[in-house]
Amino acid sequence: MRTCLDGFLANHDQAAARLKRGGGFIVTTVDFASADAELAVRAPDDQADPELWFHREWIRGLFGDAVRALETRAGASGHASAFALFRRYDLEDAGDASRPTYAALAREHGMRVTDVTNELAWARRVFREIVLDRLRTICASDEEFRAEARDLLGVDAR
């Protein structure tokens, strides 16, 4: 009886993991209403290349997800100040002329300049890891993954 039950459970687990049954994939829902509304606002120009527009939107979506994941991870691991610095220095669209210096950020957040440097290094490293992890799940092959990583981040990822 025990052998039969073990065999039944092994077959059940194996069947659940089969690719044709959806094994190995993460199931997510798509909110078409909000996606359509967002695309209507960001509609491409009549002159724009649809392939180029799609690629830019894909990158924007990938990086947006990575920023949200970084914010969550920073809050959970006690690095909320690192995310605040990352948002202020790397994400705010201020242009190079009005971008704050590390010294100005240190005064603004009440920390030393070396702490600003370390916190930004942590945030950038984790952001890069998140982007690479998400790319790894999206790409069909290792070669495609490396090409996308080179294109997006300028790194030869392994």
pLDDT at 48: 67
pLDDT at 96: 63
In this prediction the pTM is: 0.67
pLDDT of residue 44: 59
Q: Is 66 exposed, middle or buried (0-12, 13-18, 19+ CB in 10 A)?
A: buried
Are 130 and 64 spatial neighbours (Cβ–Cβ below 8 Å)?
no
- Summarised one tens digit per residue, pLDDT across range 10-66 is 887 777 666 565 555 666 677 777 766 766 666 655 556 778 888 888 888 899 999
Residue 94, pLDDT > 60, answer no
DSSP track, 26-91: ------HHHHHHHHHHTPPPTTS-HHHHHHHHHHHHHHHHHHHHHHHHHHHTT-HHHHHHHIIIII
Residue 100 carries which DSSP code? P
**Has residue 118 got a pLDDT over 90?**
yes
How far is the C-alpha of 10 from the C-alpha of 15, rounded, in Å?
Answer: 9
Residue 112: name the closest of 152, 135, 141, 85 by CA. Answer: 85
Residues 124/90, Cβ–Cβ less than 8 Å: yes
Mean pLDDT of 71-75: 94
